[in-house]
Amino acid sequence: MRQFFWFVPVLALLAAGCGEGDGDSDELMPLEITQGIALGEPASPADPAIEPAVAYDGTRVHIVYCQSDSTATHDVMYVQRVGAGPFSAPAPLYPASAGDSRRPSVALDASGTLHTVWVEGTLPGRDIWYVTRNALGVLSTPANVSNTGGQDENNPRVHVDVSGRVHIVWEGSTLPPNPTSAVFYTRTVGSVLAAPQLLPFANGGFSAEMPDVGTDENQHVYVVWAENMGSNRNIRMMRSDNNGLSFGNIGDGIIVAGTADKTEPRITCGVLGEVILTFIAQDAGGERGLFTALTRTGGTFSQAAMLFFSASGGVRNSSIASFAQADGARVVTVAFNDGPVAGGNILVRTSRDGGVNWPGDPVDLSQGNTQPASNRMPCVAMDDNEIVLSWVAQPTGGGVARTFTSANSFTLPE
Q: Write the pLDDT tens digit of every residue in 159-218.
A: 999 999 999 999 987 656 566 788 999 999 998 999 999 887 644 568 889 999 999 999
8-411 sits in which CATH class? mainly beta
pLDDT band, very low/low/confident/very high, at 35 (cuts 50, 70, 90)? very high
Q: Where are the domains of the chain?
A: 8-411
DSSP annotation of 59 reads S
Name the strand (E) or helix (H) holding 181: strand 181-189
pLDDT (tens digit per residue) in 331-373: 999 999 999 888 999 999 999 999 999 999 999 999 988 998 9
pLDDT (0 to 100) of residue 198: 87
Give the integer Cα–Cα distance in Å for 175 and 46. 36
pLDDT (tens digit per residue) in 82-105: 998 999 999 999 999 988 999 999
Stretch 316-330: mean pLDDT, rounded? 94
Let me know the angle formed at the C-alpha of 271 by 390 and 202, rounded to the nearest 5 degrees: 85
pLDDT (0 to 100) of residue 4: 30
pLDDT (tens digit per residue) in 216-273: 999 999 999 999 888 899 999 999 999 999 998 665 577 888 889 999 999 999 999 9
Which is it for strands 192-193 and 197-198: parallel, antiparallel or unpaired? unpaired
For the purposes of burial, counting CB atoms within 10 Å of the CB of 244, is it exposed (0-12), middle (13-18) or buried (19 or more)? buried
Stretch 4-13: mean pLDDT, rounded? 34
Three-state SS at 199: coil
pLDDT (0 to 100) of residue 250: 66
pTM higher than the cut 0.85: yes
Instruction: Answer yes or no: is pLDDT of 10 > 60.
Output: no
